[in-house]
């Protein structure tokens, strides 16, 4: 039996027409270079399965890029937890050079990859943090905290919400079971004083099926009580209400 993990990477797939409509023209070449990294070093280092290469654009890069529809129009800070190969964090850093993006990942081989890609693409808006989300609790807050297939909603809330500023928001990429997860973990949402989650479909006409995101903010920004999420001077969120998003 052939060990596909040791096969020569097949090379990046052709850029689909949809990518030209999603990425700003001046950023498309960066998205293409990032996809080439995924198809080559991403496969060699075990971050991407070789069978995923033909569908890197549709299943991974574009799937993450359309999350931008749920992000603020103005400049913002973003933390991507469990960033892995940079999905969605690096994709969003390419999409939004006005955003300051922190990629959080505990595994060295992944943080090495993230650092190399960010430097190669000249993404000066990216900071790579080797560690876990809990490491930043109490030290930093963000306007947006993202994740992709990291954990069930209850654990994801406990890891992410301490990093969400009083006027910030969790934007988690989820699958078709998003509504069921929200119902299952309603008690955790209430305990953490979260507002009612919003399930949003993004990427119409770009990806099929559309990308599902779950957006969670604080029920009362003045009553944020989790460690690291209290309102204080120097917060990266809280100068104004940033909860207006593209719908």
Q: Which residues are part of a known binding site for S-adenosyl-L-methionine?
A: 82, 87, 133-134, 148
Residue 124's closest CA among 103, 142, 97? 97
Query: What is the spatial distance between Cα 27 and Cα 73, in angstroms, rounded to a whole number?
Result: 17
* Beta sheet of 211-216, edge-to-edge order: 126-130, 100-105, 77-81, 142-148, 164-174, 211-216, 198-202
Query: What is the spatial distance between Cα 15 and Cα 45, in angstroms, rounded to a whole number?
Result: 23
Which tokens belong to 26? 């001046």
* Beta strand segments in the chain, E: 77-81, 100-105, 126-130, 142-148, 164-174, 198-202, 211-216
**84 three-state secondary structure:** coil
Q: Are strands 164-174 and 77-81 parallel, antiparallel or unpaired?
A: unpaired
- Residue list for the binding site: 82, 87, 133-134, 148
Residues 6+ away with beta carbon under 8 Å from 12 = 32, 35, 36, 38, 39, 40, 53, 56
Report yes or no: 61 and 206 within 8 Å, Cβ to Cβ. no
Report yes or no: 177 and 156 within 8 Å, Cβ to Cβ. no
């Amino acid at each position: 039996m052939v060990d596909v993990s040791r096969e020569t990477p097949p090379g990046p797939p052709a850029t689909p027409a949809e990518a030209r409509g999603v990425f700003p023209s001046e950023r498309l070449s960066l998205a293409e270079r990032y996809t080439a990294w995924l198809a080559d070093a991403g496969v060699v280092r075990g971050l991407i399965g070789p069978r995923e290469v033909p569908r890197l654009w549709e299943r991974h890069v574009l799937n993450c890029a359309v999350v931008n529809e749920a992000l603020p129009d103005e400049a913002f800070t973003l933390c991507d937890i469990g960033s892995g190969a940079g999905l969605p964090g690096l994709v969003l850093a390419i999409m939004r050079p006005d955003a300051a993006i922190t990629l959080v990942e505990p595994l060295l081989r992944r943080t090495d990859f993230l650092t190399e890609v960010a430097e190669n693409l000249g993404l000066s808006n990216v900071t790579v943090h080797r560690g876990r989300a809990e490491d930043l609790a109490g030290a930093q807050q963000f306007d947006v905290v993202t994740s992709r297939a990291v954990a069930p909603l209850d654990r994801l809330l406990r890891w992410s919400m301490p990093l969400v500023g009083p006027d910030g928001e969790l934007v988690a990429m989820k699958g078709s079971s998003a509504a069921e997860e929200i119902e299952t973990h309603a008690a955790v949402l209430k305990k953490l004083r979260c507002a009612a989650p919003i399930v949003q479909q993004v990427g119409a006409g770009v990806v099929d099926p559309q990308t599902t995101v779950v957006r969670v903010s604080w029920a009362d920004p003045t009553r944020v009580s989790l460690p690291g999420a209290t309102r204080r001077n120097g917060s990266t969120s809280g100068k104004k209400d940033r909860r207006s998003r593209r719908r």
